[in-house]
Amino acid sequence: FKATEMKGSEHNDPWIVKDGKIQTTKNDAGGIIGGISTGMPIEFIVAVKPTATIGKPQKTVNIETMENVEIELSGRHDPCIVPRAVVVVEAMTAIVLLDYLLIEGVVPSVLEP
């Protein structure tokens, strides 16, 4: 998340011609600028939020009585995604990229009438 501490001039990925091809000199944008691929590798920095269901008292609301209450649950009911995070991010990336390819007509839809 180093981009949050950079100036725009520091974070820009300058364009150059190298070996007859247009490319960027670096890849701070992760391969996507303004929603368009730069041709550089697409890179992600991902954060995973902690599991919400924990064995400590937590404040919540009783929607039937409209009162503030405290709840304490046992066990972990939410799955911990950290061990599977890479696979989930790769799968979601593939879905989004394929969706855009379908929208642009690069990949034919199998559901065409």
Question: Measured on CA atoms in the order 47, 51, 57, 58, is the torsion positive or negative?
Answer: positive
Please list the alpha-helical segments (H only) found in 3-68: 8-11
Q: What pTM did the predictor assign?
A: 0.56
Query: What number of other Cβ atoms are within 10 A of residue 32's Cβ?
Result: 13
The conformational region for residue 3 under phi > 0 = left, psi -120 to 50 = alpha, else beta, is alpha
Tens of pLDDT along 46-94? 888 877 777 788 899 999 999 999 998 876 666 777 888 889 999 999 9
The rounded radius of gyration (Å) of the Cα atoms in the chain is 22
Q: CB-based contacts of 73: which residues, under 8 Å, 6+ apart?
A: 53, 54, 55
Question: What is the pLDDT, as a whole number, of residue 75?
Answer: 67
Q: What is the mean pLDDT of the chain?
A: 86
**DSSP per-residue letters across 79-100:** ---GGGHHHHHHHHHHHHHHHH
